[in-house]
Amino acid sequence: MHDDHDGPEDGDIVSAMPKIPVPDEVADAIRTLIRWAGDDPEREGLLDTPKRVARAWKEYCQGYGEDPAHHLSRVFEEVGGYDEIVLLNGIPFQSHCEHHMAPIVGKASIAYLPRDHVVGISKLARVLHGYARRLQVQERLTAEVADCIWQHLNPVGVAVVIEATHACMTARGVRTPGVGMVTSRMMGVFREDARSREEVLKLMGY
């Protein structure tokens, strides 16, 4: 998909990956996996699958090639005295678990209480995607997003809540569909003050 409005650096909608060369050892590894799963990598429908899978995984894991903190480098100080919560709610994302390399699909709510400057609101989503496009566990993803905002925006408080389903649980193992996992990280005033924490969670819909 391509976002005609924001350009290739946006990160909210990923442009199609170019057809990068696929090393022989990578394609061979995928052929081995196909055989081990019980199919024939030489049959017509699977001939091009190894290269497709390899390029897909380069796209799934493109977060390794960026520093999410870079998105927070440009801030705005002229905010008319605004000093209340800034919240981006229900940001959809997809990641892959590091244990089974199975999809993690969910949404995140990210909030911060600015001290003396703010950042463009889309940058919060870009920070999320920068970390999500790596092999992950949900707990670490939640902490990484919150810590990045805390360290680079110097806000009064940060709150991150992530709710997701894990294919390693819904499609294999216990095979329990419809079960979601919720993780949160509160920092600063949202951790120290119960009323502030209650306010931000209410705004998030929790």
Count other C-beta atoms under 10 Å from residue 109's C-beta.
22
Lowest mean pLDDT among 23-27, 30-34, 94-98, 115-119: 115-119
- The answer to whether residue 168 is catalytic is yes
- The one catalytic residue in 61, 66, 94, 100 is 100
Q: Average pLDDT for residues 24-47, to the nearest whole number?
A: 98
Minimum mean pLDDT among 38-52, 70-84, 114-128, 191-205: which range? 70-84
pLDDT in tens, 114-124: 998 999 999 99
Answer for the pair 183, 139: CB distance below 8 angstroms, yes or no.
yes
Give yes or no: 151 in active site: no
3-state secondary structure 74-129: CEECCCCCCCCCEEEEEEEEEEEECCCCCEEEEEEEEEEECCCCEECCHHHHHHHH
Question: Residue 173 has what pLDDT?
Answer: 81
The pLDDT tens digits for 127-181 are 999 999 999 999 999 999 999 999 999 999 999 999 999 999 888 887 888 889 9
Determine whether 129 is an active site residue.
no
Q: How far is CA 88 from CA 42, 107, 121, 181, 202, in A?
A: 47, 11, 7, 20, 13
More confident residue, 15 or 147: 147
Q: Is 61 a catalytic residue?
A: no
* Residue 138 bears catalytic tag: yes
